Amino acid sequence: MRTSTAIDTACHNCGTARPRVFYEVENVPVHSCLLLDSAEQARGYPRGNIALALCETCGFIQNSVFDSSLHEYSPRYEETQAFSPRFNAFARELSEDYARAYDLRGKTVLEIGCGKGDFLLGLCDLADCHGIGIDPSFRADRVKPEAMRRIRFIPEFYAPEHGDLEADLILCRHTLEHIQPTRQFVQRVHDTVAGRNDVAVSFELPDTERVLDECAFWDIYYEHCSYFTGDSLRVLFESCGFDIVEQRSVFEGQYLVLDAVPSATPRDEIQKKPDIAQWQDRVRHFERNFEQQQRNWREFFASHHANDRTIALWGSGSKAVAFMTTLGIGTEVSAVVDVNPHRHHKFMPGTGHEILPPTSLMQSRPDVVVAMNPIYLAEIRADLLAMGLRPELTAV
pLDDT tens, the chain, 396 aa long: 444 444 568 999 999 888 999 999 999 999 999 999 999 999 999 999 999 999 999 999 999 999 999 988 888 899 999 999 999 999 999 999 999 999 999 999 999 999 999 999 999 999 999 999 999 999 999 998 888 889 999 999 999 999 899 999 999 999 999 999 999 999 999 999 988 889 999 999 999 999 999 999 999 999 999 999 999 999 999 999 999 999 999 999 999 999 999 998 766 667 778 999 999 999 999 999 999 999 999 999 999 999 999 999 999 999 999 999 999 999 999 999 999 999 999 999 999 999 999 999 999 999 999 999 999 999 999 999 999 999 999 999
Angle, nearest 10°, between helix axes 276-306 and 230-239?
130
The CATH-assigned architecture of domain 307-395 is 3-Layer(aba) Sandwich (3.40)
CA atoms in the 13 A half-sphere facing the CB of 170? 27
> What mean pLDDT, rounded, does the chain reach?
94
Residue 195: predicted pLDDT: 84
Contact 242, 190 (CB under 8 A): yes
Query: What stretches of the chain adopt beta strand conformation (E)?
Result: 5-6, 20-29, 47-54, 61-63, 108-112, 130-134, 151-154, 169-173, 200-206, 226-227, 242-250, 255-262, 311-314, 335-337, 355-356, 368-371, 392-395
Using a 10 angstrom Cβ sphere, with 0-12 exposed, 13-18 middle and 19 or more buried, the burial of residue 179 is buried
264-322 pLDDT, tens digit per residue, is 876 666 777 899 999 999 999 999 999 999 999 999 999 999 999 999 999 999 999 99
200-239 pLDDT, tens digit per residue, is 999 999 999 999 999 999 999 999 999 999 999 999 999 9
Residue 7: predicted pLDDT: 57
The domain spans of the chain are 307-395
Contact 337, 75 (CB under 8 A): no
Residue 268: predicted pLDDT: 61
